[in-house]
Amino acid sequence: MPFIIAIDGPAASGKGTIARAIAGHFGFHHLDTGLLYRATGAKGGDPVLAARSLSVEDLARPDLRSAEAGQAASRVAAIPAVRDALVEYQRRFAAQEPGAVLDGRDIGTVICPDAAVKLYVTASDRARAIRRAAELGTDADAVLEQLRDRDRRDSERATAPLKPAPDAVLLDTTGLSIHEAIERAKSIVAGVRG
């Protein structure tokens, strides 16, 4: 049975960086599920058809890390039929041996509720805005408003809202370096995996 690690949290909390590092360390497959939604939003047209027809090329688009793609992802992720179209893809990915790390917003609550390890990675709004602004080369105050709008939309949607699973371990990265956050996450996983 594959060992599944679910890593959830808001944008720019560090969950993707942690997920990639954990996957590499333990030799597991990694899926940034946000890319599925970003690619769906970026394709344009009917979002449900876009979700059902995602290709490898769609997931490799260079513009998927833009702020616009993030906002589009948040909008299409609120559509239940889009979520339904992408759930099975994510579950099949998670079932790969020897294990998989999936990061997103509803992995521990909806996609893989039986994951062996569930982390909810968070950070203060200001820390997240500074990180994302540095990544995008833009102003942190402008990014802060975008992050807050997205958090609100993601947390208030009727289907699979952003929230920690009841049994998730909270990892606040506000005052941590990347190295420290990764080491804490590795320790949590190692404690469960043995």
**Which residues does the annotation place in the binding site for ATP?**
9-17
CA dist., res. 177 & res. 171, Å (int) = 13
Binding residues are 9-17
Q: Which residues contact 194 (CB under 8 A, 6 or more apart)?
A: none
140 neighbors 44 (Cβ within 8 angstroms): no
> Tokens 């944008």, residue?
11
| Type of residue numbered 52 | R
79 neighbors 50 (Cβ within 8 angstroms): no
171 — phi, psi (to 5°)?
-125, 100
